[in-house]
Chains A and B, each alone.
Chain A
Amino acid sequence: MRFIRRRALPGAALVLALAAPLVHGQGSAVEEIAKYRAALQDGNPAELWEARGADLWKQKRGPKNASLDRCDLGLGAGVVKGAYAQLPKYFADADRVQDLETRIVWCMVTLQGFTEADAKKGPFGGPDRKSDMEAYVAYVTSESRGVKMNVSLSHPKEQEAFRLGEKMFYFRGGTHDFACATCHGEDDKRIRLQDLPNLTQTEGARKAYTTWPAYRVSQGELRTFQWRLNDCFRQQRFPELGFASDASVALTMFLARNANGAAFDAPAIKR
């Protein structure tokens, strides 16, 4: 809980620290943003979501009054440590490839007796509404911190998910003709002053994938990788990406696999 004493840092001062150098020139603005990001690393409110998720995980919930303690995230029933670093993967019991969120939904349905619709409700929180799913994701991902990404493509359905996710990454559509690759297919590009990771290259894919979920200072919320994908498609002018949909699992498979070999390093903190 080392972040608590720093939590009171006024947000306005941070915004000023970021905005002030812009008048001097872009070089110094970029440097100041880098300094601001570095300053954020000391103390991360994401720990609140992790703690809430760990607590919820053990609580007896749902029509079957059961906890998620026996949930099999791919390393055996009840094993959370290191599980996220090998997801998405094929699960024989569900006979499909599942990412963390779809697997948690599966466990909520099979172990706790929730309907699938109820388990998928409220995947992203807001100022007036806490999301249990975000808390679960914060907890489970935190248990993979430092673990090397090791996503398998040994099962044919894993290979298929990867191929479909790759196609999706390059799929241009909508009013603006955008694909994921439009913004994330080249090195050293930015939108306004925001650097864009090149997700087609190992380095960019690793850095991006291993730093979600993240506490977003600008939003005062913990945001999951699924939220990141969802919001990318909004900005891409696409319709809304269905939570725990096949497309979201496939795209996650493509991006997660491209991050293989890198140590997972989240929940992180971002501006």
Chain B
Amino acid sequence: MQRKHLTRAIAAALVASVILIGCATTPSETETVAKATAMLKASFKEQGQAKLDRLDQDDMQKTCSEYTGKALPKDVATRIEKENLGAIKWPADGKLLGDWKSGEKIAQEGRGMQYSDDPKQPAGANCYACHRLAPQELSFGTMGPSLYQFGKVRGYTDEMRKYAYGKVYNAEAYNACTNMPRFGHKGILTEQQVKDVVALLMDPDSAVNK
């Protein structure tokens, strides 16, 4: 342990000196970020439903951009998770599960929120783009973990239902800087759609749990 700490301290000192030397010739991190953000604003143009405000970063987006590929400090992770957990709107009727068959359709649908999409049509969640779910669907991605038998393996408990709802609604509440979109928080899915996707994961009758 001692040696590990020492190695870390030396590494930190080395990094610090490299940064100091670097500062003499290159602009600071803050300057580069500010310049990049201004460049984006000037280079993108609004199209369809995608307006320029999509380039306005919230705390999570800004912080996680900065830490991509680097270790996320624990206090920063805790801050992001707390902010996002506090922002979850739990269903007023207390029901967390909707219709799993409708959830399956939402999980298959990739359209929604692109400037080429009709904003009047409900958006999909495209879960299969990144996750394995129902075993019948062979065309699934590997960005996220397999969710096959999600409820069956974890148990059909109130706690798991609540976790599944919160995770689909706002994944940043549980895993800071995750790649997963915040489907409820960002208004991609409606409350009913989130419930339907939760049912796909947690209903014992769902194809996912067979």
Listed in ascending order, the chain A residues whose CB lies under 8 Å from chain B are 22-23, 25-26, 29, 159, 163-164, 167-168, 170-179, 181-183, 185, 188-194, 200, 233-235, 237-242, 245-248, 250
B40-A171 in contact (CB<8A): yes
A192-B61 in contact (CB<8A): no
B36-A171 in contact (CB<8A): yes
A164-B36 in contact (CB<8A): yes
Question: What residues of chain A lie closer than 8 Å to B130, measured between beta carbons?
Answer: 191
Question: What residues of chain B lie closer than 8 Å to A171, measured between beta carbons?
Answer: 36-37, 40, 57, 65
With A174-B54, A175-B54, A181-B68 already in contact, the answer to whether A240 and B139 are too (CB < 8 A) is: no
Question: What residues of chain A lie closer than 8 Å to B44, measured between beta carbons?
Answer: 233, 238-242, 245, 247
With A167-B33, A239-B51, A239-B52 already in contact, the answer to whether A191 and B129 are too (CB < 8 A) is: yes
Total A-B pairs, Cβ < 8 A: 143
Min CB distance A49 to B, Å, is 24
A234-B115 in contact (CB<8A): yes
Q: In residues 33-64 of chain B, which contact A (Cβ within 8 Å)?
A: 33, 35-37, 39-40, 42-47, 50-52, 54-57, 60-62, 64
Closest to A170 in B: B68
Tell me whether chain A's interface is mostly helix, strand or loop, or mixed.
mixed
B186-A168 in contact (CB<8A): no
Min CB distance A15 to B, Å, is 14
Pairs A–B under 8 Å by Cβ, sample size 29: A25-B138, A163-B27, A167-B65, A171-B36, A171-B65, A172-B62, A173-B56, A173-B61, A176-B181, A178-B181, A181-B68, A189-B141, A191-B129, A192-B140, A193-B139, A234-B114, A237-B54, A237-B113, A238-B55, A239-B52, A240-B45, A240-B50, A240-B115, A241-B43, A245-B43, A245-B44, A246-B42, A247-B42, A247-B44
B128-A242 in contact (CB<8A): no
Instruction: Give Cα distance in the complex from A242 to B27, angstroms.
Output: 26
Min CB distance A29 to B, Å, is 6
- By CB atoms of chain A within 10 A, which of B32, B114, B140, B181 has the most? B114
Question: What residues of chain A lie closer than 8 Å to B142, measured between beta carbons?
Answer: 188-190
Q: Given B57, B129, B187, which contacts A175 in the complex, CB threshold below 8 Å?
A: B187
Instruction: Give Cα distance in the complex from A239 to B48, angstroms.
Output: 8
- By CB atoms of chain A within 10 A, which of B56, B64, B128 has the most? B64
Question: What residues of chain B lie closer than 8 Å to A234, measured between beta carbons?
Answer: 114-116
With A182-B179, A237-B50, A239-B55 already in contact, the answer to whether A172 and B65 are too (CB < 8 A) is: yes
Instruction: Give Cα distance in the complex from A177 to B54, angstroms.
Output: 9
Q: Given B32, B116, B186, which contacts A177 in the complex, CB threshold below 8 Å?
A: B186
Contact code string B57-90 (vs A, CB < 8 Å = 1, else 0): 1001110111011000000000000000000000
Q: Given A168, A235, A241, A246, which contacts B114 in the complex, CB threshold below 8 Å?
A: A235
Question: What residues of chain A lie closer than 8 Å to B128, measured between beta carbons?
Answer: 192
CB of B195 within 8 Å of the partner chain = no
Contact code string B126-152 (vs A, CB < 8 Å = 1, else 0): 001110000000111111000000000
Contacts A168-B36, A183-B143 aside, 18 further interface pairs with beta carbons under 8 A come to: A25-B138, A26-B139, A167-B65, A171-B36, A171-B57, A172-B61, A176-B113, A176-B181, A181-B68, A188-B142, A192-B141, A200-B69, A234-B114, A238-B54, A239-B46, A239-B52, A240-B115, A246-B42
